[in-house]
Chains A and B, each alone.
Chain A
């Protein structure tokens, strides 16, 4: 079953068109990886999915993006509700400069998800456990989140994202600032999370896309060149451009 269906998505930055007629289906409870060279539009497409492009004034998104059969790309969409459903993890770990606890509790608090302090405590604990961070930080929940290592910070950001129980998690190069061990921990975490969440991940590391995803889309110059099952893409892609990119014959 498809969680997200994008039809004829065009994105413009001012006069410059960034995405051309993107059609892509993203299956539920699977990991979909978006790969492609820098500036190919994969991050732009990712940010369409939770309307983060709204933040950029000159950015205009056209087309239809259906999540659960509801077109999120219409004026009447409540962006706050949408982002509650669709969490996001960024390239650089960006915990709030507050305590670990406040980092996680922020989302549930602003969305009014907890009735009592106990309930909030429970959400914080659950989120940290799901992000495989609980054991490392349970004794210092009230210390600043910025004191953690890079990998821990990124897992904190993932815990923060899942604290509001989103259906979809978008990840924008979540491991590009991390060492291989921390990367492996995040990849393991992604594997776990896909049991409950639909995950879309943008990555520069093709081997990472190959390791974590079930479906891979290759973007180039704003176009979706090819999308298909990950093992097909990495063993025998249909398009010459895809093959050139993943074998390192580009440019």
Chain B
């Protein structure tokens, strides 16, 4: 009797222990996730801020090589040079500056200062001949200094920002001429060699186009394959063989698909390299087995009684499949598809092989234009030496994660919505 009591206690204890193992496993997993997210966010959030320096710009007609007495037309403003305007205005920041120091001051700004000066006068033609304050993008080094990511106490020769630049910067900062605002250009700019100008627009669009191409190619093919295999194909050695191979295909390392894309799509079919079209097709090879497996599983999950009901009503095999089985399997198929696409979205290796790793500083307008993709962008930036790219990498990861979370949410919603409707 006492033995049995002890035995029972042991069983309860064993169960408690088992539950504890499970809980600690979850806690560990959550911990990893939290560390990862904290790291990403803490380094990445600053990338969404951008530093500007407000500089009084002297729109002197002399520097613009225009007639001072006459009001210039828009064409004149469009065509004129602004480099000297910039240089003169920079020189005015420090009256005593020599040639080298003026160059240093110029380097405090992004190289597109000319464009920014020009954009301002084009928007405000009345400022012609006046001195007005204009917001200019600070160089990535100063941006990092301002965000506090750049150590000032290093010896000067090991710094990319010299003491003179820091002096001018601090002076401007104390005058309130240094401002920090939301970094829209991170989302609207294409990639750039200059960290302060680099954005994800190109890679984002590249990813989007790739995914769309991937969806357009893999979904219909996979669905048809799954329907045929599950509903029509006779069960014999051949179909068994095909099934095993589809499962194997899902386990093939993605880089192999990249080689396939390189060897077949680029070399044989001569499709344009570095484009989302080729990337999407390559990714679809990867997604295909995932969708086929998901679609077959959800077709299999449709109760056979529904098929029997339709067949017994005199529906043909095709009618049974298209009217009843496929619509019922669609939620499962769609969420499988989205999961497959999310996988494809995060894929880097095959894209590198087909050339989507190239530096692309234009925003692609169609799948036929060269583009990067988000994970490849992360890879490119992570390789770059400039300190300004470190935060960009994290920011890009955040965007990618949000994209993935949204896709998974969509998968959940589709599943939930359709499954709730019937039963």
Instruction: Judge: A and B partners, yes or no.
Output: yes
Q: Which of A's residues lie within 8 Å of B, judged by CB? A: 50, 52, 55, 57, 80-84, 87-88, 90, 92, 94-97, 106-107, 110-111, 144, 146, 157, 160-161, 164
Given known pairs A57-B235, A164-B313, the reply for A90 and B422 (CB within 8 Å) is no
Distance from B11 Cβ to chain A, minimum over Cβ atoms (Å) = 38
B378-423 contacts to A (CB < 8 Å): 421-423
Q: Give bound CA distance, A82 to B316, whole Å.
A: 12
B324 near A52 (CB under 8 angstroms)? Answer: no
Given known pairs A96-B310, A97-B306, A97-B328, the reply for A146 and B422 (CB within 8 Å) is yes
**A110 surroundings in chain B (CB, below 8 A):** 313-315, 319
**B316 surroundings in chain A (CB, below 8 A):** 80
**B309 surroundings in chain A (CB, below 8 A):** 90, 94-96, 157, 160
Q: How many residues of B contact A (CB 8 A)?
A: 22
Distance from B232 Cβ to chain A, minimum over Cβ atoms (Å) = 12
Since A88-B312, A90-B308, A96-B310 are in contact, a sample of 4 more A-B pairs with Cβ atoms closer than 8 Å, ordered by chain A residue number, is A55-B311, A94-B303, A96-B309, A164-B313
B314 near A83 (CB under 8 angstroms)? Answer: yes
**A106 surroundings in chain B (CB, below 8 A):** 310, 313, 315, 323
**B263 surroundings in chain A (CB, below 8 A):** none
B314 near A84 (CB under 8 angstroms)? Answer: yes
User: Does B234 touch A at the CB level, under 8 Å?
Assistant: yes
Given known pairs A57-B234, A92-B305, A110-B319, the reply for A52 and B312 (CB within 8 Å) is yes
A94 near B314 (CB under 8 angstroms)? Answer: no
Q: Give bound CA distance, A90 to B307, whole Å.
A: 12
Given known pairs A92-B305, A157-B309, the reply for A146 and B314 (CB within 8 Å) is no
Distance from B420 Cβ to chain A, minimum over Cβ atoms (Å) = 11
**A83 surroundings in chain B (CB, below 8 A):** 311-314
Chain B, interface SS category: helix
**B315 surroundings in chain A (CB, below 8 A):** 80, 106, 110
Sample (12) of A-B pairs whose CB atoms are under 8 Å apart: A50-B312, A52-B311, A80-B316, A83-B314, A84-B314, A87-B313, A90-B308, A90-B312, A92-B305, A94-B308, A96-B306, A164-B314
**B308 surroundings in chain A (CB, below 8 A):** 52, 55, 88, 90, 94
Top 7 nearest A-B pairs by Cβ distance?
Answer: A97-B422, A94-B305, A88-B312, A83-B314, A84-B314, A107-B313, A94-B309
Distance from B422 Cβ to chain A, minimum over Cβ atoms (Å) = 4
B234 near A94 (CB under 8 angstroms)? Answer: no
**A87 surroundings in chain B (CB, below 8 A):** 312-313
**B422 surroundings in chain A (CB, below 8 A):** 97, 144, 146
> Quick one: which of B305, B324, B421, B423 contacts A90, CB cutoff 8 A?
B305
**A90 surroundings in chain B (CB, below 8 A):** 305, 308-309, 312
A94 near B313 (CB under 8 angstroms)? Answer: no
> Quick one: which of A82, A96, A144 contacts B324, CB cutoff 8 A?
A96
Q: Give bound CA distance, A50 to B311, whole Å.
A: 10
Distance from A168 Cβ to chain B, minimum over Cβ atoms (Å) = 12
Chain B 338-376, CB within 8 Å of chain A: the 1/0 string?
000000000000000000000000000000000000000
Distance from B266 Cβ to chain A, minimum over Cβ atoms (Å) = 44
Q: Give bound CA distance, A55 to B231, whole Å.
A: 11
Residue among B234, B311, B312, B316 with max Cβ neighbours from chain A (10 Å): B312
Distance from A157 Cβ to chain B, minimum over Cβ atoms (Å) = 7
**A55 surroundings in chain B (CB, below 8 A):** 307-308, 311
Residue of B nearest to A88 (CB): B312
**B310 surroundings in chain A (CB, below 8 A):** 96, 106
A107 near B305 (CB under 8 angstroms)? Answer: no
**A146 surroundings in chain B (CB, below 8 A):** 422-423
Distance from B295 Cβ to chain A, minimum over Cβ atoms (Å) = 18
**A94 surroundings in chain B (CB, below 8 A):** 303, 305-306, 308-309
